[in-house]
Structure 1
Amino acid sequence: MAAAVFRRGSYLWVVFDRLQETDLTVLRRLGGDVVRDVQQMQHTQATVIRILTESSYNPGVRREGLLWVVDLMPQPLRAKVPIPVKVQPETGPEAHILFDGIEGGTVLSILDPEVGDEMTVVPVIPVGQGVTPARIYPDLELLATVQGIALLSRIDTLNVQSSRNGIEIRASGAGLRLSRTVERAETPRESFSSSIFDIKNWRRGDDYLLEKRRLERDVLAAGNAAARTAPRLALARFEFAHGWGAETLGILGVLAADDPALLNTPAYRALRGGGNFLMSRFEEAVEDLSHASLADNDESALWRAAAEASKAMPEAQAPFLRLHAPLLQDYPSVLKTRLAQVGAEAALAAVDESAAQHFLEMIRAQTDAPQAGILHLTGRYNELTGAFDAALVNYGDVARGTDRYYQPRAALAQTELQLRLGQIKPAEAIKRLDRLRFAWRGDSFEFALLKRLGELHLAEGDHGQGLRVLKTLTATYPEHPETPRIHEIMQAAFDRVYLGEGKEKLSPLAVIALHDEFPELTPTGAKGDEVIRRLADQLVAVDLLDRAAALLDNQVRNRLTGLDKTKVGIRLALVQMLNQQPQKAIDALSSSEGPNLPPDLQLQRRHLMARALADLGRTDDATQLLQNDPSTDGRMLAAEIHWKAKNWGEAAKALGGLVEPPPPGQTLPEEKAKHALDLATALTLAGDERAVMQARRLYLTPLQGTTVYDAFNLITSNGDNTPINPRQVAELAKLAEGFKSFLTAYRDKLKQGKLSDIN
């Protein structure tokens, strides 16, 4: 079986060219805190595992017998044995890429749901053989791998063939375009489509104030609105070339007001898109730079990719930014630095060392580049390449500084790295991240910070605070592309509390409070019914009977059918009885009745109905229900109903069927002994002396050694018709009041178990 292992953004991909089911529970457990999520992607030919991990943890691959083992450690993403990438030849109709002598597996097409594109993956058999570093060509991109080959095609005619002798990548009908590799981004600017930003000429020299006054005089000298269009556009371009986004947008707004036709021209849209980017209005920038008039322009596409990367998921734009980096060659420092910073961030997110290094070198070459930014990006590069001590020094220098933009970012990166290296505990990380919550607001940094803070709270068992942070995040960024993923994390945490291992870690009151705060997370369908069932159990456990009844009543009325409805109706009736609401108990039983019920459920319903009727004073109706009930619970309930009504003779009849004399020489079990005492008490209170004496003859000896022997002896000792003494009167009164009731038995069951255990 051949394997491929590589990273794309935050996700690690493990691919085998044989289809089999994988135990994801085991993988999650083995991954510990490093692994945040594991999924097996659907595929007809292969086993495709996608793992969300901490970004600084990268895989190593080894074999143990027939098993492939993937080790996650803080290390660079590198293959142990880099596969030579042979370009033969670089140009012409036969140009192709060859991986010679590599025993490849099946060529697989795999959809990446995060980005929405399709990857071509070729697992290989030799252990540790992968592509290092990544390479980008006009027709394809080779991803960095620690095992196997993974690539992204930029043409429809790409053809990948794998055999025991090697792997070939060709283009059907023509050679691959391979000369424009951007491993070092040395492509000349002229190789791209026509420029739309003539920034060098737009700057008009180095004296900003002097040139600005000249342009403003040109605007004032124009006779009418139409004549002012050209000088105004020149002034807007001048401001843009000097990096002033607000001024650019202000002038463009006036231009469009005077001449609305400009709005749909490529020059206007590109310039306004660039101005919006400089103002960090990335949504507006993407909209402008996606205008149809700019469809075939590489330069506007570069700015659009930078805006997309600044919004979210920069790793998705990393290959494009790397490929188009040569367009920055003639840019002034203020613009080159800004775009190179975005390129470096994207390359680091995509774990592309080569591109990150190139963009960093570009930034360092600018004399006016912010030192805090350079240090922060250098720290991230050092972390990516495994130089963790150097990275912590870089982060610390920036975190102690005063740069409002980079200081919180460096503090977050420092905290994350120290946590991964075991230098601080999660509790300390939570404190630090909480202090950073208001250091920088309103962009991808705040999103990442709140997401991580919520995850840490959840990992530490603070479900309430974790869900609160994540709820704030989703409310603040409802349109963020990762917001659906945050909802999934919240739902999974909620489910763990009520349906998984987390349910044992919170007190009943905490579980109830969590549901009250996040009712929207209650799942639908069978899972939701199970959550309600367990929540009702918790509510009854802390005697919140009204709340439990309301939940169960909604289940009976609106959610359940069939046998499940009957079972929950019985539980609802019991809760209403415990809450001293007999009529509501009867209503619950009536509304949940179903056909062909199992005998045990029929019995439960009959007993609860009888007890509810008795509590409403309908003793005759209650006893009528129990008339032909031979069960122990039925006889006990009949005895209780008659006992409460002081129908001592009828109570004695019901009790008489509960206790049979044991064989000679045997002692009655404790429960039977209590029934015998209840029988003697009822007979005595009924004044049936003959029956009392008969009970004494039958049960006195078998009761020796039980807890009720003395009481039974006292109650039945009046066989000589002498007056009952005061002690007997007191004992009778005590026993009459202490008869164990039907509901008391249920309460005892609930102390030992849960409401849902009754059926």
Structure 2
Amino acid sequence: MRRVLILALLASTAAAPPNEPVEQPHADTHAAPAAPAEPAAEALPAGPPALPPFAATLAQMPTITSSRDWPELSDEEAWAGLINATPDTRQLARWRYAGSLIRRGMGAEALGVLETMVADDEDLALVAPFQLATGAALTMVGHDRAAVEALSLPELEGNAEACAWRLRALAALGDEISAARQVNCAVPAINGRDPQARKPFTLAAARGAIAAGQTTPVFAWLKLFGEQDPAANLLRGRALLASGDPAAGLFRLSRAELSGSPQIKAEAELARIQGDVKLHRIAPAEAIKRLEALRYGWRGGPVEKGALQLEYALATELKDRRTALRSAATLFRYFQPGTESAAMLMQIRTWLAEMLAPDSGTPLPEAAGLYWDYKELAPAGAEGDALAMRLADRLEAAGLYPRAAELLQYQVTQRRQDVAQGPLSVRVATLFILSGNPVRALDTLHATEQASYSDLMRFDRKRVEAVALYKLGREAAAMAALDGIPGAAGVRSEMHWRTHDWGSFVTENEASLPAANALNAPNQAIVMRHAVALAMLGREDKLQALRARYGGAFKLLPSAQAFDLLTQPARTIDPARISGAMAAIPAASPTGAIGDLLDAPTG
């Protein structure tokens, strides 16, 4: 109920004056009946008046540099200010109310007021005090990353109050090194708070100092907390371990685990493992097992991130690439690794390239699984294409066309509008056809269409598109796709041969007939197929012309007898011998790879 009242008071509303009654004339009993009046248009209610800009006014107000600078208002004073505010003073009343909420630690309520303010004046987002208030409210509600962004204005860089909130947000994010850099700036604002309000900032400062290896002041800071406080005992334990007192450090961690929240217990366990590793109390392999057990029971936040970072370091030390890859992949997927990310990514890519190399000894199924599990960590650009292509070649050679297609499909999508999509898309579409899925082939080609391809690339894509359409039974569409494509006559004739469309075959194949002195295996197939089609059509004249043109050249070839039978006059043909002659036609398709695609099963 209270929140509803607050929102109602915050709203920019103004009561519209009631409509004045219109005096009606006295009725005239002798007058003619009046014509029915047109229905009056209903007046729309007036919207709230626009508020005057407040951003410049706020920017000119005294700077907030400590917790004492936030307004101090009771609920009654805040509500009275909102109720009595005019449009000219409403934003100031809101600002004072938001500041009083921040002072009292009511972050969610303050954030609601600030959002209402900026909705009426977008320029407030450019004003340092407003961003300071927003960052403080966001930190209190746990939106730490957004808080750090809000507090990143250059004007807030040396502001003690901003440094204090930035310190707290960074520590909550697990970026303790960055938090440590804020401590000196934040000290005046932290010390200016009463002891109870100082606690979360002091804990954040202690985290930063421990991470930076400056443990001396930590013990003094933590005197603010009782000896039974689990959060303080956790940090005391970490500081003692870092300063070289493992027995006392582990004892403090045990006390934190005994009475702390689940998060404190998880963090204490991580600190214990880190201490044991640093002191060489456990072997790296045992530490990895304990880290995996910890991550099994605790997901997310700085605890899991720290566990993954230590796990990666230990696996690297053991040269356990698979564990290191798994840890690094989780870090990159769900966290921001930090300053070490560039070196980590370079190491991962080197390992992947070595493990996926054809001579690595990694079994093909295992290599494909490795690539698929960590594909987003693989090299980008031409290096990544080469890595994926080598693995796809191995999968294709093993007849694993669907796996090869899916592998390269991911590579295509990463290319977005890069011209390298062209050759990759042709390869992927080809693999989908070979795997019996021409629909996916067409989808790939259509999804990667762009105007920047060269003519040669467009021709390659159209040939594969025509094959996919033909495999789907859309012969007319396939023929249309080949319009204007160089060398399309050979592809068309291949399709007509398979459908026994002898007339169309002869028309297309005529242009492909080779010279008599160039009868390699594919060219022999072209000539002998032409002979079959002519015989089927009963074109005796052209059949004999073909015999005269190529007879001498065929005499020197193993297929001479078959050619002789196929080109004999129709009345002398023995059907049984003709069947044998057709079987002797060279298997090499005149269209090369296109013929292999046309031979692929569908479905």
Scaled by the length of structure 2, the TM-score of the pair is 0.48
Scaled by the length of structure 1, the TM-score of the pair is 0.39
Relative to its length, the structure with more helix (as a share) is 2
Relative to its length, the structure with more strand (as a share) is 1
